[in-house]
Chain A
Amino acid sequence: MSSANRNTSNPQAGDEQPPAVSRHVGIAPMLTLIAVGVLLYAGGMYLDRHAGGFRANVYEPYRSLEYVESLQPQDKGDKLMAQGKQVYQTCSACHQASGEGMPGQFPPLKGSKWVLASGPDRIIRIVLNGLTGPIEVAGETWQGVPMPAIGSGFSNQEIAAVLTYIRQNEEWGHNATAVTPEEVAAVREKVSDRSAPWTAKELKKIPVGEEE
């Protein structure tokens, strides 16, 4: 019995003083520090694997954006557009990324009637064999630099992709139909014996849709 308790007979004497607290440090804080370190490491590893890179668009039970994207249904048009954007880097040297060309040298693709025509038959031919001579685009007559024949360097798929890209480019305000590799293949076969570039005059005879 401590002296404090012996001094009084009142059973409520303990109330008079607040309880005390010892100033031992003990080993627990050190162990806790180690445990916090271990848990931080383990927790970090776990989150690295399961938290989807803290991205807002990765949900349980998926673990990464790449995995989620690989599970998405792939839309053919989107795939063509994505590929077309890559191929267009060849074209943008002259026609520019904006599709507006260079005044006096390269005619614009943006807003061009042939690009946005109901069918792609003329523009497929231009890409395949090139174009020379004067041509009227957007109310101006262009006869500067001829369009080279670049078709042999690209597959039907790539040409379809880049033509789809220029026909459907939202940034340019375009919304024409997509071009399929099959369409390109059909035209390529038809013009297989031709090596000379097209002229605007010749192309005008070709209907924009093959079946028309």
Chain B
Amino acid sequence: MNSSESSQSSGHPEAEQARGQSPWSAADLDESCQMPVLYLFVSAGFWLVISSIFGLLATLKLHAPGLLADIPWFTYGRVWPVFWNALVYGFAVPGGIGVSLWLLARLTRQCLVLPWMIFMGALFWNVGILIGLLGILSGLTTGHAWLEMPHYTNVILFVCYAFMAIPAVMTFVWRNEEDPYPSIWFLFLALFWFPWAYAGACYLLNFVGLRGVMQAVADWWYIHNLGTIYFGLIGLAVLFYFAAKVAERPLYSRYQVMLILWLLALFGSWGDVPHGAPVPAWLPNLSAVTNLFVILVLLVLANVLHRTVSGHYGSFLKSVPYRFVLFGGVAFFVAGIVDFVTAIKPVSTIVELTEFTQAQSLLRVYGFFAMTLFGALYFIVPRLARMEWPFPRLISVHFWLAALGVVLYVVPLAISGIVQGGLLQQADVEFMQAVEPSLIYMRISTIGDVFFLLGHVVLFLNLGVLYYRYAFADWVATIVNSTQPTEAVEVGA
């Protein structure tokens, strides 16, 4: 029976029949994720607001240097890393874990194992972030980009990550799906990629203490592994999930998706050592060559996504969460092409020491990964909490704020970088003359930051109220009005 099914299965969602049977319904699976994943999302939303407050402060300081300049805790050198660390470790990593856990449970058709362990991991992860960010603000920074938190927080975060990742691995191992949907490959690899890159970089930079220029090399390696591989793996897993779901078609070619995974894992992680770096010549050149290979990832990915979605692109516009995912997918391609072009030496020499790199990393981390996560989050949360968003219209408001924010932040800084880099190449132009034209672009990018902040407040408002209703409303009602028996929380239609 199975063989006859699978022979005609290609192209039909009914191919499900050939898969293993799960004792769990989608509702059961969601319920197992409910407690840890909702907590991960709401705390990610909180850190996102904190992050964008500091991000706004940091960009304001670029053209209003006097702002809060007398308070050591709010000087640029501390505010700026707080922005990135809160964005990466406060929002992106735990948000990514949350989405991974839900997708893992759904796609392996296995209830999440040990949700309490994950919850404890997430709880203390947030304590670690708090200690780390306060550490940076009080001046205990390590000085390594994306790893500025004091070294003891590295241990906290690593242990907490293990608390979250081990149940995820166990869920995969006890899966009810013999051959799970390809997103699972990406998520499973990502589960191991973060601890490998994070522990490796922290050990080398904060515990062994590499010397001299090797610090920068290790740091570039780490940023590239986290930004391109880890975020890329989770983001692509989400893209593949939604591509098939939105188009209501099976994902095109299991084998080509496998190819994407291997190309990304093999060639994606060789670091982005810039050409101007004072390191042996083979490092920047090798990293430039492997960057060229990443264009293959984009080509195969474009083929897979187009053949899956072709003719149904309009479906992505029907619902706001899908729009976030579509935006993220487009940003992934733009970021990939920009990475490809800037790996070429003549281009790299112009843009490498300018604001352009800032625009580039924000496009990848925010334009691609955060936007994809927002889409997944808006899609998942109502299903988990079994209630509608408190302010459904604000979702669309968030989308436009975030989308315009990305454009207003990335485009001006990219232009500024090209202008500035071009001027820096001319020997007769003084340094300040080369920097001055970028002032107007920085002012425009500050508008982008304001949009980010507003968007994050809107997101947190929705998430926070929903989480309150989910977790505390019952409990508060019991205390306030203990004489009346409480009704169960309203269940979404």
Contacts and interface: CB of A to CB of B under 8 A. Distances in A.
A24 interface: yes
Contacts of B177: 18
Nearest to B303: A28
A114 B258 CA distance: 78
A59 interface: yes
B109 interface: yes
Contacts of A19: 13, 181, 241, 244-245, 250-251
A20 B280 contact: no
B296 A58 contact: no
Interface stretch (B85-93, B144-152, B163-171, B281-289): B281-289
B10 A32 contact: no
A32 to B, nearest CB: 6
Contact of A43 (B109, B252, B292, B303): B292
Contact of B250 (A14, A21, A32): A21
Contacts of A58: 280-282
B10 A60 contact: no
Contacts of B290: 43
Interface stretch (B227-235, B271-279, B411-419): B271-279
Given A18-B106, A58-B280, A23 B10 contact: yes
A136 B255 CA distance: 87
A25 B285 CA distance: 34
Contact of A28 (B245, B259, B293): B259
B25 A26 contact: no
B300 A32 contact: yes
A47 B253 contact: no
Interface in A9-46: 12, 14-26, 28-29, 32, 35-36, 39, 43, 46
Interface of B: 9-16, 25-26, 106-107, 109, 177, 180-182, 241, 244-245, 248, 250-257, 259, 263, 275-282, 284-286, 289-290, 292-293, 296, 299-300, 303-304, 307, 383
30 contacts: A2-B14, A3-B14, A12-B383, A18-B16, A18-B107, A18-B181, A20-B16, A20-B181, A21-B250, A21-B251, A22-B10, A23-B254, A24-B10, A24-B252, A24-B253, A25-B255, A26-B307, A28-B256, A28-B259, A29-B256, A29-B259, A36-B293, A39-B292, A43-B290, A53-B282, A55-B280, A55-B282, A59-B280, A60-B275, A60-B276
Given A51-B281, A51-B282, A52-B282, 20 more contacts: A2-B248, A16-B26, A17-B13, A18-B106, A18-B107, A18-B109, A22-B10, A28-B253, A28-B304, A29-B255, A29-B259, A32-B259, A32-B299, A35-B299, A47-B282, A47-B289, A51-B286, A55-B280, A58-B280, A59-B279
